[in-house]
């Protein structure tokens, strides 16, 4: 991880922090703390607790049915869990909200494409033909609940917040 040579009034992060494993979050938040001027603000949004749960539950179920292990590739914290990490870094939580943000995937193959784009690590070492079968089964399983009016609507949950470096 690199360090910056100057301090900033604001550090902004959108849709990045959920890609960083839980065990690496303290180091990231410490770097953010040190990048801020006293009184500086950290504004963030990441996938929050429950984000895309239906997709991950279906993937886990289908992979386990085949004797495969499904490891969640993202970190989706609760407000309390993330606030604790933020404050352990020295920042002060000012506000946080966890909210549903259903997200349309316009393409008729939207869910298949979304899984192929964002859920790669759990498929490491799995032959392409089996990966395709797993995704096809998951897409069909979720179609009744997530495909409406000719469009996929995925169950995003976002955690948005603001913290401040003390003066």
pTM (2 d.p.): 0.92
68-96 pLDDT, tens digit each: 999 999 999 999 999 999 999 999 999 99
Domain ranges of the chain: 8-164
* Bridge partners, 11 (sequence order): 42
Q: What CATH code would you report for 8-164?
A: 3.40.50.150
pLDDT exceeds 70 at position 3: no
117-130 pLDDT, tens digit each: 999 999 999 999 99
Say what the alpha-carbon torsion angle 147, 150, 155, 159 is, to the nearest 10 degrees.
Answer: 180
């Amino acid at each position: 991880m690199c360090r910056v040579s100057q301090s900033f009034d604001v550090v902004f992060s959108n849709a990045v922090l959920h890609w960083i494993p839980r065990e690496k979050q303290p180091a990231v938040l410490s770097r953010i703390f040190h990048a801020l001027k006293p009184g500086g603000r950290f504004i963030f949004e990441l996938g929050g607790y429950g984000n895309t749960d239906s997709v991950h539950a279906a993937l886990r179920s289908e992979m386990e049915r085949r004797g495969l292990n499904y490891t969640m590739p993202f970190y989706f914290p609760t407000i309390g869990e993330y606030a604790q990490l933020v404050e352990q870094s020295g920042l002060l939580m000012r506000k946080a909200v966890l909210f549903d943000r259903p997200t349309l995937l316009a393409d008729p193959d939207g869910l298949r494409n979304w899984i192929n784009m964002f859920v790669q690590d759990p498929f490491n070492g799995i032959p392409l033909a089996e990966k395709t079968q797993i995704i096809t089964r998951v897409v069909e399983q979720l179609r009744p609940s997530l495909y409406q009016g000719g469009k996929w609507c995925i169950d995003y949950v976002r955690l948005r917040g603001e913290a401040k470096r003390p003066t």
